[in-house]
Amino acid sequence: MIRLPQRETRTLLAVHGWSAVLLGLLLYAVIVTGVASVFTDEIADWSSPLPSQADTAWPQGIGSAIQHAAQTVDPQFHEDMIAFRQAGGRMQAFFHKHDTDPAGKPIERGVVTVIDPQSRQIIERREGTDEEIGEMNLPNALAHFIVDLHVRLHLPNPWGLLLTGILGLAMMLAAVTGFVIHRHLFKELFTLRRHKDRMLSTRDAHVIAGTWNLPFAFILAFTGSFFSFASSFGIPAMAMAAFGGDRDKVIEVLIGNPAANDPTPAPPPALDRALDDARQRAGSDPWYILSEHWGRADALQTVVMLPASGTLRNRTFLYDAAGRFMQEKPLLGSVPSSGAAVYSLMGPLHFGNFAGVLSKAAWFALGFAGAYVTFTGLLLWTTRREDQPAWRYLGRSVTGLGYGLPLALIMAAYGYFPVVRLGGDVHVMMMTAFLAGLLGALLLANLLRQLADSRRILLSLTALALIGLPWLRWIGTGVSWIDAAHGGLNAVFAIDLGLSIAGLLCLRAVRRPSPAMKRLPSAQASPAT
């Protein structure tokens, strides 16, 4: 062990503690946004519903509607087509070609046609690069804002992905070390004592939530780190090392579709025939369909299906231009392998979408527990050092961010719906509202005399924002509960009700003092000597 003078030791301990808390705050942000991201599809349907909800985005004959949309698109963009479900059940078909930007970066350029699955009519059209088209996607903007905050904290690529990957590793390390240091693991699973000292009660609640959450935390951290590092580092590194920087070649090898080259003109691919056959084979609905070499004899259709009831993995089928079944292929490569089987489990285990709403609800609850463990751990850590001025200010920031981040996410929705009604730059409005909520919470926590007052005010504001959001959604989208009932818009009912209940729970929590804050000094208290 290196022996240092007492002053240097205290300095290093302070740096160590501060860095751990700051890392914990970032991890808390990733977990909270991940909890919200579990219901990304439902949030998109709620924030931008169509007048009526179809039973499925893939009804019989939707392939013919996509073929009709292709006739409205410049043939130069018929190189590839990918179709998938979007907000409100809209069907989005992206006809595109491979291109490069001025810096030489590979991009996709083309036309998006958005189809109403009930009327089979084109209701929206966007043209540009894949990034430009994404920025114009107003119906999915709110859901994408939350997901992007979770995936890369709205930082530029690849730095955001690298940071969230590192945070995932930190979470995985915490899960492993937590398993090791809990010497009485099974006892702590059920130990929630009633203490006169409410700080000890908070510690017990922190320990029991963390103990039950250990396996889930490890799974979530491992799969999240995998996705972050694979996108930001793995594929680029593989491209540079083995393929001379050719990312498309890497994808081709990983996906493993059979090579073909017959540019002879041919009728459009038989999408409906392929989709019908895939439904029968998988016993589930499609996730997306990719058609390569549209209108050529060598057209290849890849239909990726959602997991069937009682299963975890997607199934992928290949079809020729006439819609004839060719083969079932693994998610990676062209032949089944252990690596492909493991990879196919990564998505369902991370997103919790393998059993519909039930598995999503379970992932939401477990993620909420993880956020609670992280937040209470940071509060307990900073509270124990409340006699030191620097730690006191950091503890106030922990309170501001802990209670302010959920409020800021709600404020992002308050920035979204006015744009839906009045127009404007939706991305600027959402980010402005989000930052205003977050910075306002941090400022409030650092200015008020008592942190308990900050907590009550922030919880009260969150409650009011939650209760008011269904009404703002009604004004923004023009869809009332009566309209939702007539149109079968279940997501509108469910989320409006959930927001209202969450608001009432926040109001109830306002009346109950936080044990972790009971001992926190005021901002003007004198430091201990």
The tens digit of pLDDT for each residue in 304-356 reads: 998 887 788 889 999 999 999 999 988 776 677 777 788 788 888 888 888 88
Residues 362 and 480 in one domain: yes
Q: Residue 525: its pLDDT value, please?
A: 39
Is 85 found in the same domain as 16?
A: no
User: 67 in a domain, yes or no?
Assistant: yes
Q: Out of 137, 163, 188, pick the residue that ends a domain.
A: 137
Does 474 lie in the same domain as 341? no
| Domain final residue, candidates 325, 351, 377 | 351
Q: How many CA atoms lie within 13 A of 140 on its CB side?
A: 21
Angle at 461 between CA 459 and CA 466, to 5 degrees: 95
From 424, 224, 158, select the one nearest 433 (Cα to Cα).
424
**Count of C-beta atoms within a 10 Å radius of residue 506:** 22
Residues near 388 by Cβ (< 8 Å), separated by ≥ 6?
527, 528
Can you tell me the distance from the alpha carbon of 329 to that of 336, in angstroms, rounded to the nearest whole number? 7
- Does the residue 316 lie in any domain? yes
One domain for residues 328 and 378: no
Is 117 found in the same domain as 41?
no
Asked if residue 312 and residue 252 are part of one domain, the reply reads yes
DSSP designation for 280: H
Domain membership flag for residue 465: yes
Tell me, what's the pLDDT at 445? 92
Cβ burial, residue 48 (10 Å; 0-12/13-18/19+)? buried
E strand segments, 258-358:
286-292, 300-305, 315-319, 325-329
Average pLDDT over residues 363-392: 81
Tens of pLDDT along 391-411? 777 888 899 999 999 999 999
Answer positive or negative: Cα dihedral of 435, 438, 444, 446. negative
Q: Would you tell me how many other CB atoms lie within 10 Å of the CB of residue 299?
A: 25
- Phi-psi category of 310—alpha, beta or left, where left has phi over 0 and alpha has psi -120 to 50? left
144 C-beta neighbours (distance < 10 Å), count = 21
Q: Give domain status of residue 505, yes or no.
A: yes
For residues 363 and 493, membership in a common domain is answered with yes
Q: Which residues lie across from 288 on neighbouring strands?
A: 84, 304
| Same domain? 253 vs 366 | no
517 vs 107: which has the higher pLDDT: 107
- For residue 411, tell me if it sits in a domain: yes
State the pLDDT confidence band at 64, using cuts at 50, 70 and 90.
very high
The tokens describing 173, both together, are 């390390």
**Structure confidence at residue 43 (pLDDT):** 96
Q: Residues 312, 344: one domain?
A: yes
Q: How confident is the model at residue 524 (pLDDT cuts 50, 70, 90)?
A: very low
With 90 as the cut, is the pLDDT of residue 65 above it? yes
Task: Judge whether 288 and 82 are in contact, CB under 8 Å.
Answer: yes
Residues 105 and 250 in one domain: no
pLDDT at 462 over 80: yes
Are both 466 and 512 inside the same structural domain? yes
Q: What is the pLDDT of residues 70-105, one digit of tens each?
A: 999 999 999 999 999 999 999 999 999 999 888 878
Does residue 56 lie within any of the structural domains?
A: no
Most confident region among 132-146, 155-169, 227-241, 367-381 by mean pLDDT: 132-146
According to the model, what pLDDT value does residue 288 have?
Answer: 95
How many Å apart are CA 504 and CA 19, to the nearest integer? 36
Question: For residue 162, is pLDDT > 90?
Answer: no
In a domain, 115, yes or no: yes
Which one, of 518, 492, 523, 476, lies nearest residue 379 by Cα? 518
Instruction: Flag whether pLDDT at 442 surpasses 60.
Output: yes
Name the token pair of 311. 């299963």
- Buried b or exposed e, range 248-277, using 16+ CB within 10 angstroms: eebeeeebeeeeeeeeeebebbbbbbbbeb
Per-residue HEC secondary structure of 74-117 comes to CHHHCCEEEEEECHHHCEEEEEEEEEECCCCCEEEEEEEEEECC
Average pLDDT score over residue span 203-228? 75
- pLDDT above 70 covers a percentage of the chain that reads 79
Is there a single domain that holds both residue 489 and residue 388?
Answer: yes
Q: Is the peptide bond before 59 cis (omega within 30 degrees of 0)?
A: no
Structural domains of the chain, count? 3
Whole-number mean pLDDT of the chain? 83
pLDDT for 435: 97
Domain boundary among 104, 137, 170: 137
Whether 318 is covered by a domain: the verdict is yes
Instruction: List the single range of 200-214, 276-290, 464-478, 505-519 with lowest mean pLDDT.
Output: 200-214
Domain with 341 in it: 243-351
pLDDT at 105: 80
Q: Quick one: tokens of 517?
A: 């804050």
